Amino acid sequence: MIRKLSIVVLLCGVVLAAAGCSPSSPGERSDSPPANSQSAQVAPVTPPQKTTAVKVPISPLISAQVSPSPKEATASQGEPPTLSNGAAKAIKLNGPIFDGWTKPKWSLLLSGRTSGYIEPCGCAGLENQKGGFSRRHTLIRQLQDKGWNLLALDAGGLVRRTGKQAQIKYERAISALKTMEYTAVGFGPADLRLPPEEVLAVIAPTDDGPGPIVSANVGLFGIDEKQTARYRMAKAGDVLIGITTVLAASQQKQFPADNIEYRDPSKALAEVLPKLKAAKCQRLVLMVYGTREEAVKLANEFPDFDLAVVSGDAETPPAQPTVLKDSDTLLIELGYKGMYVGVLGVYDNPKQPIRYQRVPLDARFEPSKAMHAMMVSYQKQLGELGWNGLGLKPVLHESGREFIGSETCVDCHSSAHEVFEKTPHAHALKTLMKLDPPRHFDPECVSCHVTGWQTQQYFPYETGYLSVKKTPEMRANGCENCHGPGQRHALAEAEDIKVTKDERAKLRLDLRVTSKEARDGCLKCHDLDNSPDFHLSGAFEKYWKKVKHRGKD
């Protein structure tokens, strides 16, 4: 086991390391049952030779440094000889990766809690942001091209929302993980909020092989191993690895009980673990979608697992694993939104049997052609469906007022409009239209680039933006996104409607914005995902100087 990575002394006295992998053996997955077994997830294995194991504690070895030769260190870096400005900036900001690594005997790439972020938002420049399937795929290809025996595992949580777009995104995400040759993928609670029949159609086994989902304690329309594996076995080199996932108890109330069978994680693992042990798996991996505390509890309850991986809740996950005192299990925490993945390397080196790298998916990774093609197809599908096809119907703004467009504001607020015209807000939609692929049919992008949309829930308001042709006056991030819908105010000021003096004053007051309200409004779009620099100390004051404007001329 990883926590028991040890010096194995053969009876003849030859000393070997316990990892036991062949560098030339590719990672391979097997779902064939062994003889005399009813499990559909277990592959036949050859019983190991009789050995005497001298166990070496792993705790002091995690941070130990192995000093490779200069040639080995250079070969392990993986950075291209010539770096783009974005890549160089990313490495300077986030640090080098795999520094001093040589090729492991076998390795795991660990991810989870993508939460719908199949790509980072490009509003602030992709070079400034982390995450995305494109960079993840490039990383995996780089390691595979170096001959690494690599298995990719995901703890689950591919989406975070419901509705038609989330369904499409889940389908695309599963397809992408298959392209990246993931061995096992767990369930997250939001995944289970999608229509179960739609999810089942995406994850069901096909003629090409088993479905990607593995869950010991969750099943759609009942726990049926013909539909969803409860565990999976795969080889990385010569090592047979047993893998299972659980959805922790804290997540149970976050999805409907209808058509979903949920079992207590401890009871489910008590059913699955003996099967993995009986199959003589040499390493056991448990992935938990839940809290760190829940993962620790399960790892201590089932100490046979060498590695416990938890989906995590930190934006930046810990740089190194933790060795649990009660079970000696290695605990790896993953961040959310897919901004980082973890890579665990296992060696035939008693001084340092493992190495771990938290990998920021930043601009050092070139785009993947396969993932770019997926995004082109995804955006095309959104455009073909349109707002109605995505189930998005305009609703009345919570204020009860209607929008009119920024051009109407010019007559009385020309000075403010001149400032607005010089800001990126004035051509926000064009920014989306110039991207590759364009994003102006994507509700999650459009909401902050036009006038009259709910910025966090991604739906249009009545009289807000519909399309460039139908509502050209709403094609920018205009005045009313901060000040609120102003149609009645504009009509009153133009005396196109009759209002009392008091109502006129109230209509004016309703559209005034304080400095604090302006800041809060900005943060709805300039969040950590889209504008990380906006959250630095003094950033609002800096940006406000560029857009500062006051009332009527």
Q: What is the pLDDT of residues 63-87, one digit of tens each?
A: 333 333 333 333 344 444 466 788 9
With bands split at pLDDT 50, 70 and 90, how would you rate the model's confidence at 10? very low
The predicted pLDDT at position 86 comes to 86
297-301, 511-515, 533-537: least confident range: 533-537
416-459 per-position pLDDT tens digit: 999 999 999 999 999 999 999 999 999 999 999 999 999 999 99
Phi and psi based region of residue 309 (left: phi greater than 0; alpha: psi -120 to 50; beta: remaining): beta
The predicted pLDDT at position 82 comes to 60
Q: What distance in Å separates the CA atoms of residue 481 and residue 486, rounded to the nearest whole number?
A: 10
With bands split at pLDDT 50, 70 and 90, how would you rate the model's confidence at 259? very high
Q: Reduced to 3 DSSP states, what percent helix, strand and coil does the chain have, rounded to the nearest 5?
A: 35, 15, 50
Q: What distance in Å separates the CA atoms of residue 177 and residue 384, rounded to the nearest whole number?
A: 24
40-66 per-position pLDDT tens digit: 333 333 333 333 333 333 433 343 333
The predicted pLDDT at position 553 comes to 78
The predicted pLDDT at position 83 comes to 67
Cα 204 vs. chain centroid, distance in angstroms?
A: 22
- State the DSSP string of 345-395: EE-S-TT-SEEEEEEE--TTSPPPHHHHHHHHHHHHHHHHHHHHHTT---B
What mean pLDDT is predicted for residues 240-259?
Answer: 95
Count of C-beta atoms within a 10 Å radius of residue 81: 4
376-415 per-position pLDDT tens digit: 999 999 999 999 999 999 999 999 999 999 999 999 999 9
What mean pLDDT is predicted for residues 527-548?
Answer: 85
Distances (CA, A) of 227 to 193, 212, 219: 18, 10, 8
Is the separation of the CB atoms in 88 and 127 below 8 Å?
Answer: no
Please say if the pLDDT value at position 269 is more than 80: yes
DSSP 214: B
113-162 per-position pLDDT tens digit: 999 999 987 666 678 789 999 999 999 999 999 999 999 999 999 999 99
Token pair listed for 440 = 């102006």
Cα 23 vs. chain centroid, distance in angstroms?
A: 30
Is the separation of the CB atoms in 296 and 275 below 8 Å?
Answer: no
Token pair listed for 272 = 């699955």
Amino acid at 548: K
Q: What residue spans in the chain does CATH classification 3.60.21.10 cover? A: 2-30+44-59+108-371
Is the separation of the CB atoms in 272 and 230 below 8 Å?
Answer: yes
What mean pLDDT is predicted for residues 172-180?
Answer: 98
Handedness of CA 456, 457, 459, 464 (dihedral sign): negative
Distances (CA, A) of 527 to 124, 359, 448: 11, 23, 11
With bands split at pLDDT 50, 70 and 90, how would you rate the model's confidence at 315? confident
Q: Which residues contact 418 (CB under 8 A, 6 or more apart)?
A: none
Q: Write down the H helix ranges in 180-335.
A: 196-203, 265-278, 292-301
Token pair listed for 324 = 């649990």
Annotation: CATH topology of 2-30+44-59+108-371: Purple Acid Phosphatase; chain A, domain 2 (3.60.21)
Q: b/e string for 314-348 if b means 16 or more Cβ within 10 A?
A: eeebbeebbbbeebbbbbbbbbbbbbbbbbbbbbe
With bands split at pLDDT 50, 70 and 90, how would you rate the model's confidence at 35? very low
What mean pLDDT is predicted for residues 278-289?
Answer: 97
The predicted pLDDT at position 38 comes to 33
Please say if the pLDDT value at position 2 is more than 80: no
Q: What is the dihedral of CA 181, 184, 187, 190, to 10 degrees?
A: -20
Is the separation of the CB atoms in 343 and 357 below 8 Å?
Answer: yes
Q: What distance in Å separates the CA atoms of residue 173 and residue 548, rounded to the nearest whole number?
A: 41
Q: What distance in Å separates the CA atoms of residue 212 and residue 196, rounded to the nearest whole number?
A: 16
The predicted pLDDT at position 126 comes to 76
Q: ∠231-281-249 over CA atoms, to 5°?
A: 35
The predicted pLDDT at position 510 comes to 95
